[in-house]
């Protein structure tokens, strides 16, 4: 109990009372508020996105801290946190992320001896979403958007003009990016990923948008609360496939994506 | 042009240049060495051809060729997995492929018939069923039932009915089900579905390949 009490003392309202050491190695979970990103840049911090695989280690190592049946993104967060040498972690636990992240922050507070700073990103200034709508390999788009979380600058619409969409990808950046290779370059992105690029991760109105004129795959991580929204929206869309994937994309899941796109008249990339 | 559906237990073929153009099948373990086909589907198919159509696509294309209705559910029960496509107003509306929880259902049914020396053509559909979500895990129900005094035939029949009901629920519990795969020839399995079943046989995916070869893919070298 003593450690937990000490840990909790480290967490609240960190930005107003403490500083980020110059060149600190900082982990981020979710989309930190813009004010945090700007502070990290001022301190020339080295940022590690803990939502993405950063280490080659067995996911099973997280089983001591999280149930095996749990969001693969958050299991990845714990796996990264166990292996990286970090000076602090900013973890978003507000409406722009999820309750599961809040509970994971409690676990991190207990197992790590570094500051774990909880944030609630409710930024509402729209940065736009040119990447979501431009013609580009979908995997590259997702890489740009997730990398863009570490930036305080918007992508230029002149540099990334919109294209006519032929397919839609709705959802969060998947744990396994390989499934993105199955989509055509003219895929438009919706859902929380669009909110990420817009730097408004708590904008549920934006998150619920989709294009009813294009075949769309509604994706969520298995065991994530967003599976409910993905499934709900898929029932509202005239040409949709609901899909949830855990850690890695199986061959049958890949086949489902391929078949859905092909049978919906969308040419796909990989066979 | 040789088309093939490479299944776990059996492989199905159609030679479009053949005289009768009748499909035929071979046990997978008896495939000739060095076999090469022009267009393939099935989980093993990529090993035998440069042109591959995934199984869901082949199933859907086969359904489009064989089913006249514009609204239907087509379920394929294979040795190692189950998959379905749902069409509404002539267009794809839903699909699913269960290769984990549906694992080895067809394979297990065939295995049990041999192990207990049964003939599914002579087994009545039982009134009760086991809750079966996986062929392998479901076998423990059989052993438990036999231990409690139920006949082997009755226990296996309950198991088969459990598999049919699981597959029925997996594809959305339709009023009419179009069934694909070798289990179409198993009267106990077909009779165990709590809905009307239209058995299309084991060559639906081959029919889908035939449609693909004709309409959707140039196989010119």
How high is the ipTM of this complex?
A: 0.79
User: How many residues appear in chain B?
Assistant: 221
CA distance B38 to B170: 33
**Closest chain A residue to B52 measured between Cα atoms?**
A271
Q: For position B220, what pLDDT does the model report?
A: 43
Q: Do B60 and A259 touch (CB under 8 A)?
A: yes
- Is residue B78 left, alpha or beta, with left meaning phi > 0 and alpha meaning psi from -120 to 50? beta
Q: Would you place residue B56 in the very low, low, confident or very high pLDDT band (cuts 50, 70, 90)?
A: very high
Quote the percentage of chain A above a pLDDT of 90.
86
Length of chain A: 271
Task: Identify from A238, A242, A251, A262 which residue to disrupt to test chain B contact, counting B C-beta atoms within 10 A and taking the largest count.
Answer: A262
In contact, A62 and A71? CB cutoff 8 Å: no
Place A270 in a pLDDT band, splitting at 50, 70 and 90.
very low
Q: Which chain B residues are Cβ-neighbours of A264 within 8 angstroms?
A: 92
Does A250 sit within 8 Å of B57, measured CB to CB? no
Report d(CA A12, CA A7) in Å as an integer: 10
Of A10-24, A31-45, A228-242, the range with the lowest mean pLDDT is A10-24
- Our CA-based measurement puts residue A243 at a distance from the nearest CA of chain B, in whole angstroms, of 10
Q: Which residues of B touch A251 (CB under 8 A)?
A: 43, 99
What residue spans define the domains of chain A?
2-119, 130-263
Q: Which of A244-248, B97-101, B198-202 has the lowest mean pLDDT?
A: B97-101
Query: Which class in CATH covers the domain with range B63-202?
Result: alpha beta
Q: Is the pLDDT of residue A12 over 70?
A: no
Task: For chains A and B, count residue pairs whose Cβ atoms are closer than 8 Å.
Answer: 41
Residues on chain A touching B40 (C-beta within 8 angstroms): none
* pLDDT > 90 fraction of chain B, expressed in percent and rounded: 70
Opening angle at CA B144, ends B138 and B148, nearest 5: 150
Chain B residue with Cα closest to A238: B93
* pLDDT value at residue B105: 77
Q: What is the mean pLDDT of residues A237-246?
A: 94
Taking the CA of residue A202 and the nearest CA in chain B, the distance in Å comes to 30
Distance CA B110, CA B183 (A): 9
Between helix A72-83 and helix A99-111 the angle, nearest 10°, is: 20
Q: Considering only CA atoms, give the Rg of chain A.
A: 19
Summarised one tens digit per residue, pLDDT across range A115-128 is 999 999 999 999 99
Task: Output the pLDDT for position A141.
Answer: 97
Of the listed ranges A82-86, A168-172, A255-259, the least confidently predicted one is: A255-259
pLDDT at position B139 is 82
CB-CB: which of B85, B92, B99 is closest to A252?
B99
The token pair that represents A167 in the structure block: 């397919």
Mean pLDDT of B166-177: 95
In CATH, the number for domain A2-119 is: 3.40.50.11890
pLDDT of residue B157: 95
CB contact under 8 A, A258 and B57: yes
Q: Which of A222, A263, A270 to mutate to test the interface with B (most CBs of B within 10 A)?
A: A263
Average of pLDDT values for B69-86? 93
Mind telling me how many Å the CA of B192 is from chain A's nearest CA? Answer: 26
Decide if pLDDT at B221 tops 60: no
Share of chain A above pLDDT 70, in %: 92
pLDDT band at B107 (very low <50, low <70, confident <90, very high): confident
Q: Rounded CA gap, A190 and A208, in Å?
A: 8
pLDDT of residue A7: 41
Range picked from A17-26, B13-22, B199-208 for highest mean pLDDT? B199-208
SS3 A216: strand
In the predicted structure, residue A160 carries a pLDDT above the cut 70: yes
Residues of B engaging A, defined by a Cβ cutoff of 8 Å = 43, 52, 54-57, 60, 81, 83, 85, 91-92, 94-100
- How far apart CA B206 and CA B37 sit, in angstroms, is 13
The pLDDT of A65-89, averaged and rounded, is 95
The mean pLDDT of A246-258, rounded to a whole number, is 89
Q: What is the residue-averaged pLDDT of chain A?
A: 91
Residues of A with CB under 8 A from a CB of B: 239, 241, 250-253, 255-256, 258-260, 262-264, 271
B97 CA: distance to closest CA in chain A (Å): 6
Q: b/e map of B121-140 (b: 16 or more CB within 10 Å)?
A: eebebbeebbebbbbeebbe
pLDDT over 70 at A18, yes or no: no
Task: Name the residue with higher pLDDT: B43 or A47.
Answer: A47
Sheet bearing B2-6, strands edge to edge? B24-27, B10-15, B2-6, B39-41
Tell me the H-state helices in B32-151. Answer: 55-66, 105-115, 135-147
Short-list B180, B205, B201, B182, CA closest to B39? B205
Examine the pLDDT at A13 and tell me if it is beyond 60.
no
Q: What is the mean pLDDT of chain B?
A: 90
Query: What pLDDT is stored for residue B137 in this prediction?
Result: 74
| B99: confidence class by pLDDT, cuts 50, 70, 90 | low
A194 pLDDT band, cuts 50/70/90, is: very high
């Amino acid at each position: 109990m003593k450690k937990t009490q000490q840990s909790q003392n480290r967490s609240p309202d960190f930005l107003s009372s403490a500083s980020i050491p110059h060149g600190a190695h900082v982990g981020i979970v979710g989309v930190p508020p813009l004010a945090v990103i700007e502070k990290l840049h001022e301190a020339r911090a080295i940022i590690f996105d803990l939502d993405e695989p950063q280490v080659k280690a067995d996911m099973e190592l997280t089983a001591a801290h999280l149930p095996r049946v749990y969001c693969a993104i958050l299991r990845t967060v714990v796996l990264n946190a166990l292996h990286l040498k970090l000076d602090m972690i900013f973890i978003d636990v507000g409406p722009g992320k999820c309750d599961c992240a809040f509970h994971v922050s409690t676990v991190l507070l207990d197992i790590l001896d570094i500051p774990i700073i909880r944030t609630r990103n409710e930024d509402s200034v729209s940065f736009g979403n040119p990447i979501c709508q431009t013609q580009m390999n979908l995997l590259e788009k997702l890489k740009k958007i997730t990398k863009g979380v570490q930036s305080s600058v918007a992508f230029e619409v002149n540099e990334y003009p919109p294209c006519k969409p032929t397919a839609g990808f709705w959802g969060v950046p998947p744990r396994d990016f390989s499934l993105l290779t199955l989509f055509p370059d003219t895929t438009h992105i919706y859902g929380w990923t669009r909110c990420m690029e817009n730097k408004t991760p708590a904008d549920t109105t934006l998150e619920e948008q989709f294009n009813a004129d294009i075949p769309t795959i509604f994706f969520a991580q298995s065991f994530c609360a967003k599976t409910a929204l993905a499934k709900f929206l898929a029932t509202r869309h005239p040409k949709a496939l609901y899909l949830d994937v855990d850690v890695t994309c199986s061959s049958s899941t890949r086949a489902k994506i391929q078949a859905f796109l092909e049978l919906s008249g969308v040419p796909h990339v990989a066979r | 042009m040789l088309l093939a559906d490479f299944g776990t237990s059996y492989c199905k073929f159609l030679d479009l240049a053949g005289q009768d153009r009748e499909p035929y099948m071979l046990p997978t373990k008896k495939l000739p060495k060095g076999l090469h086909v022009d267009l393939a589907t099935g989980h093993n198919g990529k090993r035998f051809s440069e042109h591959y159509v995934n199984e869901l696509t082949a199933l859907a294309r086969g359904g489009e060729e064989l089913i006249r209705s514009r609204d239907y559910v087509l379920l394929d029960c294979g040795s190692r997995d189950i998959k379905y496509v749902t069409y509404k107003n002539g267009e794809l509306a839903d699909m699913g492929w269960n290769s984990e929880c549906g694992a080895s259902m067809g394979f297990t049914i065939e295995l049990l018939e041999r192990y207990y020396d049964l003939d599914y053509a002579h087994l009545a559909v039982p009134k009760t069923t086991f809750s079966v979500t996986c062929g392998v895990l479901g076998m423990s129900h059989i052993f438990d039932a036999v231990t409690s005094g139920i006949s082997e035939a009755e226990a296996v029949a309950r198991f088969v009915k459990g598999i049919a009901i699981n597959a029925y629920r997996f594809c959305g519990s339709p009023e009419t089900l179009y069934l694909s795969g070798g289990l179409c020839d198993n009267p106990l399995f077909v009779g165990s579905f709590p809905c009307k079943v239209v058995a299309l046989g084991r060559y639906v995916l081959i029919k889908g390949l035939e449609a693909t070869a004709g309409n959707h893919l140039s196989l010119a070298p």
